[in-house]
Structure formats: C-alpha cells, structure tokens
Chain A
Amino acid sequence: MPPLPDPKSVFLNVPYDEEFSGIYVAYIVGLYQLGLVPHLASEIPGGDRRLDKIFKLIRSCRYSIHDLSRVEMGDAPTAVPRFNMPLELGMTITWQRLHPSRHDWFVWESDHYRIQRSASDLNGTDACIHNGTPEGVLRELRNAFHRDKMPSVPDMLALYRFVNNNVDAILQRNGTSNRYDKSVFKELCRLSNYLTDILRHVKTAV
C-alpha cells in the first residue's frame, strides 16, 4: 500500500495547448487560493515510462481535476481527438474505486451537454462547467471545494489577472514560450502561493 496522499495535493489533468493556457493559469491560481497544491504530469522527474509516472502522481494526490473540454477534433483533415485526458481519468476512476477514501476526482467541461456526447458512461456524474472562461474555473473551484474564509470570485479573479499579466516575464526568464514547461509551472505555483499568502494576511488584518 503506498503512503497516504498529501491532503492538499491536486492532480491537474489538462490539455497542454496554447488556447487553453489562460484556463490553466486560472486553475493554478484558484487552487492556491483555496489552500490546495496543483501537480502536473510534466513536473515528474525520472526516466520511467510516461504512463507509470502519471499513475504514480495520481496515487500521490488526494484530489484530481480532469478537464475534458478540449477532447475534440482539430481542423486539420488528419486530426484525431486527444484521448490523454479521458485515459488518465479512467486510470483515476479505477484507483478511486479500489481505494475510495484516498482519492476524489472531478470532471470539468466547458459545456453541459458535451460530456453526454463524448463520454456517455459518465452520465450521472456532476461535471463542473467552466464555460471556457477563467472566471468559470474560479467559480467552479469554489463549488467543488470549500474552505473557511475562502476568497470571493472577484478577489480570485483579480489575483488571476495579475498572475496572467506577468506570465510573459516568467516565460522570458525561463527561455521558453511554453506555459506548461516544468520551470514555468514551478514559478507560477510559487508566485500564486506568495500572493495568496499576502491576500490572506490583508483580509485577516481587516
């Protein structure tokens, strides 16, 4: 039996594409504002097989968020739907069924009816619908998780905007244009945590 997962850890199963990058930043900022710590498959070191690394990460996290909003066909004639997110969701469901007290998972979508078409076996699952907007992500995070004295959506959105406006500087410093890069992810996490700490103390002082 593996050790108990960190009660704050959240496995973030999201598509790594440019169009999704604003929503990805909203997940990171929003989770920190609820006192949770996101983890990405790209942050795991080592030369193991990718699938093994992902399963190890799922087992080490208490929660997981599976965003299926980009499971779709691209424009190119040779395009195929991207199945990584549903595949990892399947692995998570199996793990949770085997160890119900160790893991809770959430499915996220941009639209109420997409999930019924793309994965009808999930009918009956209460998906979090973010409408493809950062505001929707923050709202749904507050619906999925509850913490005493959690910030309001406008407060969360203000912090998100600040981080998102400064992503370019982080990218430049790390010599990449990829927001999902391990070093960029780490800096986004550190910045979100610093800023959340400040806001918490400001609110406590008021």
Chain B
Amino acid sequence: MPFQWQARIRKPSPCFEQIVSKVRNSKYGKLIGMRKPIRITAPWPTQEEMEKNFPISKASKKALQALVEEFKAQLSREEESPASSAEPEKRRKRASAA
C-alpha cells in the first residue's frame, strides 16, 4: 500500500494536471501568485552571439571541441545499444531490491 501512494505522488494523474492548470489560470490562482510558465519565443543563441558575449581562447575552444566529440561518441554509443543503456537502471533496481 505505501508503495502505491508513493507512485501516485511521483506521477500526478492528467486530471491533477488539469486542476492545477485551471487554478493557475483562474482569478484566484493569479491572486495567490501562481504563474504560468513564461513562453520563450526568442531565437536560440547562435555561435556568433556566444563568441561575442563569451569570448574564449583558441586553446580553450580546442579543448571544448574535444569534449563535444566525446559527447557525440557517447550519444552514438547509446543509440547503437539502447538495451545496454537500460542496464544501469536494471542494475540499480536489482541493487535496491537486494
């Protein structure tokens, strides 16, 4: 029984989400300061803007580029073996059960 309660708290039902949304948009919701998320429509930051606002040295750029390549490799490894990415989760569950 406690497990079911926990599950409910962690994953609210769509009905709960609807109620929260209605309260947010109601006069009362606005009165108590519940605010809707701010919709961001500005374009994504470009590399030129980043270069202008956060200039870094060539050596730093090269080092960051190496990290980017590492991240790409990690992504492609995960794509290649989706089953293996589920493994750590399974291992964790097994460990917590034990």
Do A and B belong to a common assembly? yes
A198 contacts B72, C-beta separation under 8 Å: yes
Please, how many angstroms separate the alpha-carbon atoms of A194 and B50 in the complex?
Answer: 10
By DSSP majority rule, is chain A's interface helix, strand, loop, or mixed? helix
| Also in contact, A124 and B33, with CB within 8 A (given A198-B71, A198-B72, A200-B44) | yes
How many residue pairs between the two chains, A and B, have CB atoms under 8 Å in the bound complex?
A: 87
B71 with A195: CB separation less than 8 A: yes
Given A37-B53, A126-B34, A191-B45 contact (CB < 8 Å) = no
Chain A residues 109 to 136 lying within 8 A of chain B, measured CB to CB, are 124-126
CB-based nearest A residue for B40: A147
B32: A residues at CB distance < 8 A? 124, 126
Which A residues are CB-close (under 8 A) to B65?
Answer: 194
A143, B56: Cβ atoms closer than 8 Å = no
Report B-chain residues with C-beta under 8 Å of the C-beta of A147: 39-41
Other-chain residue from B33, B40, B61, B63 in contact with A34 (beta carbon distance below 8 A): B40
Of B40, B50, B75, which one neighbours A193 at CB under 8 angstroms? B50
Q: Is the CB of B67 within 8 A of A143?
A: no
A–B complex contacts, Cβ < 8 Å, 7 sampled: A8-B40, A104-B38, A142-B37, A145-B39, A173-B59, A190-B54, A190-B56
